[in-house]
Amino acid sequence: MNLISEELQELLLKYCDPEPELLQHIDRETHLKVLLPRMLSGHYQGRTLSMLSKLLQPKRILEIGTYTGYATLCLAEGLTEDGIIYTVDINAELEDMVRDNFAKSPLNDKIRYLLGDAVTVIGTIQETFDIVFIDADKKNNATYYNLVFDSVRPGGLIITDNVLWSGKVLKQDNDKDTRQIIDFNDMVAADDRVEKLILPVRDGLFIAKKR
């Protein structure tokens, strides 16, 4: 299910900032060379993440799920001068491509790219985060949310991707993957420690602002 029509998507792109040249390159290379290129955040969601980051001016960001580095660079655009984004991914096969993408960016020195199981790696990062972006294996969304919660400062954001699951969350007969997405959404909705809303951007971004 497309959440919005192609015509409306084109209109939205018309009225947002253009996609930086490096991100255009990453989008193109991902679609040419990598499996499941729809996992890429893309132009409109990328500008959304960039805007949220610039509004908060974060000093520390944690991204769970690097893929080919597109969203990493979008989030990094809002970092303070001494800011750092930690990005964690388990897929070592993409390492060379990801490091090459980061090396082409003036933000490269602000990026800490960590390979391994996120549940293990996150515990080694002793930081307080202004933004956490969860975009990895969806079955572990709740695990990641609970794992990072105490490391997010009051007023900080936990942003989770793909929470509308191509519209499958609307169906009555849910498969296991969809049920896990719904259970996670219900968990966040019931969490009175955060203010929350879902933005119907691309496949759905759940924004939780820690009280």
Q: What percent of the chain has pLDDT over 90?
A: 94
In what order do the strands lie in the sheet containing 111-115? 111-115, 84-89, 60-64, 129-134, 152-161, 205-210, 194-199
Which of the residue ranges 109-118, 140-149, 174-183 would you say has the lowest mean pLDDT?
A: 174-183
pLDDT reported for residue 172: 76
Alpha-carbon distance of 58 to 27, in angstroms, equals 25
What's the pLDDT tens digit per position in 118-154? Answer: 999 999 999 999 999 999 999 999 999 999 999 999 9
The domain at 6-210 falls in which architecture?
3-Layer(aba) Sandwich (3.40)
pTM of the entire predicted model:
0.96
Is residue 55 predicted with pLDDT exceeding 80?
yes
Is residue 1 predicted with pLDDT exceeding 80?
no
DSSP conformation class of 5? -
pLDDT reported for residue 200: 94
Alpha-carbon distance of 202 to 211, in angstroms, equals 26
Mean pLDDT of all residues belonging to the chain: 96
Is residue 65 predicted with pLDDT exceeding 70?
yes
Alpha-carbon distance of 25 to 9, in angstroms, equals 20
What's the pLDDT tens digit per position in 158-169? Answer: 999 999 999 999
171 falls in which pLDDT band (50, 70, 90)? confident
Q: Who has greater pLDDT, 35 or 143?
A: 143
194 falls in which pLDDT band (50, 70, 90)? very high
Q: Measuring CA to CA, how many Å separate 114 from each of 41, 52, 109, 144, 189? A: 20, 23, 14, 16, 30
Ordered by start, the domain boundaries in the chain are 6-210
